[in-house]
Amino acid sequence: AQSVAQPEDQVNVAEGNPLTVKCTYSVSGNPYLFWYVQYPNRGLQFLLKYITGDNLVKGSYGFEAEFNKSQTSFHLKKPSALVSDSALYFCAVRDNTGGSYIPTFGRGTSLIVHP
């Protein structure tokens, strides 16, 4: 079985400050990890993914995420937040072992960036 936890329902940060949105996961085999962003009344937009290799993954719009195998975490980060980053963020995991392509999403974290 696989699961994702996003422990914070909401994250508040001032514009210009660094932001972190937390994600921890559980899979039996090797994880594929993803971050998506969802704006109101829109579908999900892909931000970045980790499959293998470098633990620091760089993605769209200046976002990056750090894969930590020992802590089973994949936190999303950005050095300097923008008001336009305010949205709903979803972490997802897929077990890459056994040929399963079914992803599991977290419940989402609402990021609010204050001017």
Of 78 and 94, CB closest to other proteins: 94
Distance CA 50, CA 57 (A): 7
Of 34 and 67, CB closest to other proteins: 34
Instruction: Rule CB under 8 A: say whether 26 interacts with other proteins.
Output: no
Distance CA 22, CA 89 (A): 10
Distance CA 81, CA 43 (A): 22
Distance CA 32, CA 35 (A): 11
Binding mask 82-101 for other proteins (x = CB under 8 A): --------x-x-------xx
Can you tell me which residue has the tokens 């994250």?
Answer: 11
36-65 residues near other proteins, rule: CB under 8 A: 36, 41-46, 49
Instruction: Rule CB under 8 A: say whether 1 interacts with other proteins.
Output: no
Instruction: Rule CB under 8 A: say whether 104 interacts with other proteins.
Output: yes
Is residue 115 a contact partner of residue 12, using CB atoms and an 8 Å limit? Answer: no
Stretch that binds other proteins, among 18-26, 35-43, 56-64, 66-74 (CB under 8 A): 35-43
Length of the chain: 115
Residues at the site binding other proteins, with contacts judged by CB under 8 A: 4, 36, 41-46, 49, 90, 92, 100-108
